[in-house]
Structure 1
């Protein structure tokens, strides 16, 4: 497989470490590009069979054209989500594979960490005690036990969060998903409800649904108006699930108790990079960061050793299957809802 050439965009030091370590089992030719994919540098893929992309590498129609004209055959995403790829632009020209599950526990655990830190003001207490200020003023939280958690999206991550909060903390759990896992919910004592009921009754709302046209800005001024005063909003899914301007308005008027965000709808220019020596030009993000009851992390919920190992292993296996002409189990088969799909017959989307 040494003749399979892979170009890895947005390669951070930890990507390079894990790719080089695991590539000993594959023997691919791999080149790493530290920069995110853009229409200006997409031409660097000339002569490569595969490009590997992360969440902030956007495949626009122009980028898809450049890849196709330069001989790229496969886009190997290092993520579960694929909203950064224009699927219409690549269909019939470039195969796209993803990593559907790398460590749902990592993201679920980070979600709960955000909740605990916000509720018990851990982030504020940390800085206070480092100045030898041991006052408890402003640090009061509430018992999670007996409160109601609303989980939007019950894929693997959402189900794990629901189980941690329900079984571990004794919370009442309401769930919402257009594709309900009825047996799972019944076995755990959870209830599928309409979104309106979830908004109205939840003390904590956690987002774990994919980003689609139906879920874009699912948290907005109208849905926030339905929520309880003091509700905690958590998002470790996709930034555009929340209208940040509407979230800020609800924070300013005191309606929201706290927000824990591992993602941001305009994060591309900032997340995964060090901007400590410069100024944030995004006024919305800058305003969001001023609230003491907002905790923002830099899209790090996935970032455990187990998860990164699984991401790279699955990416390499996806590429090996493609190179050997085998079925692509993790191909994004987005045409299924639009026409008869042959993937089950031939193992590939087209």
Structure 2
């Protein structure tokens, strides 16, 4: 039986099936997985809709085992000082493989051909002759030498761009917000589009890998289609809302868009000519689910044990090497003299600051402070309460 005191045991709740390899990150002597808990320390979720959930006072963090966080009330969490993590890149290979698979399959009319062959059931010995006679209607095109436009060169887009080069495609990419890490991993043979209009005009195939924002919503519309090559294939494994569906249906009917491949089917998409609907399989591999679960669990564990943050969608990333000293973690509004007020409260208690880091993100900021002297247990609640009284402080945690 564990000898760890209950004060040190933290509760993790899951709202979907989470791969056991992820849950194994939480050592049983320090954590308990309790899916009935009404007030856990942290939650791991995949697709469960959390918008109507009541959050307990003890909840410190939510980790989405995946990239999108549309199912999480991020604004509410931010106001409450609850960190929301996602797992960018953990499912990148799974999505990349499906994009390249459907790119080739759609160019070769594979989906239509397979569906047609199934209609020959019952024709018996005539099937081989019927196949030879009918296959000409499914003559496709090779992707070698064609141009692939990649919009969004994050973890997924960069993998697709690099591998498409290996398939002897020409690749052009557009991403005004490309990170330094991604740039290092991107082949120098990927051409840079200076504008998205340039990418539209030059691409035979276009694949999009951007988040859904006010700027990207319905970015594929009549105006965008008018700039593209006739018969362009568009692959959407990011968000259905990136497409204006009425304009897409019209472009497919006219032949301006040759094929639309999407991982987000709905009634309108199913009625479109030359639209190929995938049942949201982008990240649906055993390996991807395990990778996402492990990454989400490690992020939660790191935050709960050290206060360090990486891959949060609402808090700034912040890292301070953890040496075992008493640590204060404060989430607060990004206003002048906030750090000065926090450090003054610490010095007023005759405590030395060993190290600290302060990071901001828009209207909010996060401060980690290591205290040099050992804070006794009687002093911790007093110091914590004193800092909580500072105007603009949202949450304070002593680690």
TM-score when normalising by structure 1? 0.77
The answer to whether structure 1 residue 293 and structure 2 residue 274 are counterparts is yes
Distance 1:197 1:21, change over 3 A: closer
The superposition leaves residues 275-316 of structure 1 with CA deviations (integer Å, 9 ceiling, x where unpaired) of: xxxxxxxxxx22422446222112211122221111111122
Contact 1:185 1:191 in 2 (8 A): no
Q: Which residue of 1 aligns with 2:262?
A: 261
Contact 2:143 2:169 in 1 (8 A): yes
Contact 1:118 1:293 in 2 (8 A): no
Any idea what SS the aligned residue of 2:33 has? strand
Distance 1:144 1:303, change over 3 A: same
Distance 1:31 1:254, change over 3 A: farther
Distance 1:148 1:344, change over 3 A: farther
Q: Give runs of aligned pairs for residues 7-26 of structure 1, distance below 5 A.
A: 7-9=13-15, 11-12=16-17, 15=18, 18-19=19-20, 22-23=23-24, 26=27
The answer to whether structure 1 residue 90 and structure 2 residue 96 are counterparts is no
- Mapped to 2, the partners of 1:118 and 1:239 lie a distance apart of 19
> How far did residue 73 of structure 1 move?
2.4
Q: For the aligned residues, what is the CA RMSD? A: 2.9
Contact 2:237 2:263 in 1 (8 A): yes
The superposition leaves residues 78-122 of structure 1 with CA deviations (integer Å, 9 ceiling, x where unpaired) of: 112234434332214212122122131211111011111211111
Contact 1:333 1:343 in 2 (8 A): no
Structure number with the higher strand fraction is 2
Aligned match for 1:4, one of 1, 10, 21 = 10
Contact 1:174 1:193 in 2 (8 A): no
Distance 1:292 1:248, change over 3 A: closer
> How far did residue 234 of structure 1 move?
0.2
The superposition leaves residues 55-75 of structure 1 with CA deviations (integer Å, 9 ceiling, x where unpaired) of: 46253xx64xx2145x42221
Unpaired segments ≥5 residues, structure 1: 33-43, 265-284
> How far did residue 21 of structure 1 move?
7.5
The superposition leaves residues 11-35 of structure 1 with CA deviations (integer Å, 9 ceiling, x where unpaired) of: 24xx3xx237743763243355xxx
Q: Which residue of 2 aligns with 1:338?
A: 362
Looking at CA atoms only, which structure, 1 or 2, has the larger radius of gyration? 2
Q: Which residue of 2 aligns with 1:304?
A: 285
Aligned match for 2:295, one of 301, 304, 314 = 314
- Mapped to 1, the partners of 2:363 and 2:163 lie a distance apart of 39
- Mapped to 2, the partners of 1:304 and 1:56 lie a distance apart of 18
Between stretches 308-317 and 91-100, larger displacement belongs to 91-100
- Mapped to 2, the partners of 1:322 and 1:286 lie a distance apart of 42
- Mapped to 2, the partners of 1:246 and 1:56 lie a distance apart of 31
Contact 1:120 1:140 in 2 (8 A): yes
Unpaired segments ≥5 residues, structure 2: 121-126, 317-359, 371-393
Q: Which residue of 2 aligns with 1:276?
A: none
Distance 1:147 1:325, change over 3 A: same
Q: Which residue of 2 aligns with 1:170?
A: 168
TM-score when normalising by structure 2? 0.68
- Mapped to 2, the partners of 1:114 and 1:295 lie a distance apart of 9
